[in-house]
Amino acid sequence: MIRVLLADDHHIVRLGLRAVLAVADDIEIVGEAETADDAVRRVREGGVDVVLMDLRFGAGQAGQDRESGAQATARIREIPGHPEVLVVTNYDTDVDILGAVDAGAVGYLLKDAPPEELIAGVRAAAKGETVMSGAVATRLQHREEERESALSPRELDVLQLVAGGRSNREIGTVLFLSEATVKSHLAHIYAKLGVRSRTSAVAAARAAGIL
C-alpha cells in the first residue's frame, strides 16, 4: 500500500485529490497538511511514502514568511528515511519547476493532469522514479537544449574578436591560445549557432542578441 500525504492549502483541492486517488486500491491517504510546516511535521511522524506537494503555502516556520513547497521539499529530504515528494501544482514557470527539482522533488505534475496520470505518477514516485507532466518535460528539454547550445565564456571571447575582424592568429595572440585551439572553438561556435562561416556566426550571434 502506498501511503500518501496531501499537502495543499486549499481544502477543495485536497478533496479533489482524495476523490481521484480513491479509485486506486493500492493507494491510501494517510494525512493532509495545509501549510509547508504541517507537511514537514507530518512527515517527521513517519508512515508516509509519497507527499503530493503544492508550491504555494501560508506562513512558514517563523510564522511570517510564506514558505514554498520547494522549501518544504528540501526540508523533507533532510529527514532520515524521507518519503518521495511529487509536486502537484498550477504553476509551471521555469523558476517554479527548477526550484522544485533542485529541492529534491521526484516529479512535477500540473493540477489539470488527467486522473490516470496522477495515479500513475504516485505509483512511479513511490518507486523513486522521475515523474513529469508532458508540458513540464518539454519545458525542461528546451531549457537543456538552450543550455547545451549556449556559448561558453571562452567561445564568446573568440566570437567577439572574430566580429572585430581579427584573424585566428591574432585571436590566439590576444587570448594566449594556439591557432589550433582557436579553430576548435570556432568549430564549436559554428555547431552551436548552426552556421558554417565566420561571417554567418557573427550575424547569427547578433540576431540572437549574443553580440
| Three-class HEC string of the chain | CEEEEEECCCHHHHHHHHHHHCCCCCEEEEEEECCHHHHHHHHHCCCCCEEEECCEEEECCCCCCEEEHHHHHHHHHCCCCCCEEEEEECCCCHHHHHHHHHHCCCEEEECCCCHHHHHHHHHHHHCCCCEECHHHHHHHHHHHHHHHHCCCHHHHHHHHHHHCCCCHHHHHHHHCCCHHHHHHHHHHHHHHHCCCCHHHHHHHHHHCCCC
pLDDT at 112 over 80: yes
How high is the pLDDT of residue 88?
Answer: 95
Q: How many structural domains is the chain composed of?
A: 2
**Band (140; pLDDT cuts 50, 70, 90):** low
Q: What is the pLDDT at residue 144?
A: 59
The total of other beta-carbon atoms located within 10 Å of residue 203's CB is 15
Residues 6, 79 within the same domain: yes
The answer on 70 and 45 residing in a single domain is: yes
Q: What span, in angstroms and rounded, lies between the C-alpha atoms of 111 and 72?
A: 19
Instruction: Provide the percentage of residues in the chain whose pLDDT is more than 70.
Output: 88
The CATH number assigned to the domain holding 155 equals: 1.10.10.10
Last residue of a domain, one of 106, 130, 145: 145
Query: In terms of Cα–Cα distance, which of 204, 162, 158, 206 is closest to 185?
Result: 158
pLDDT band, residue 25 (cuts 50/70/90)? very high
Place of cell 513540464: 136
Among the candidates 94, 115, 145, a domain finishes at 145
One domain, residues 161 and 133: no
Residue 211 has pLDDT above 60, yes or no: yes
Lowest mean pLDDT of 74-83, 90-99, 102-111, 186-195, name the range. Answer: 90-99
pLDDT at 58: 61
6: which strand partners?
Answer: 32, 52
Average pLDDT over residues 189-211: 87
pLDDT band at 62 (very low <50, low <70, confident <90, very high): very low
| Statement to judge: residues 16 and 72 lie in one domain | yes
Question: What's the pLDDT at 34?
Answer: 92
| Highest mean pLDDT out of 96-100, 109-113, 132-136 | 109-113
41 in the same domain as 106? yes
For residue 148, pLDDT beyond 60:
no
Domain final residue pick, 129, 145, 161: 145
In a shared domain, residues 105 and 180: no
Say whether pLDDT at 7 is over 70.
Answer: yes
Give yes or no: residues 135 and 43 share one domain.
yes
On average, the pLDDT of the chain sits at 88
Residue-wise pLDDT tens digits, 152-175: 899 999 999 999 999 999 999 999
Residue 176 belongs to domain spanning: 150-207
The pLDDT confidence band at residue 59, using thresholds 50, 70 and 90, is low
What pLDDT does 149 receive? 65
| CATH number of the domain residue 106 falls in | 3.40.50.2300
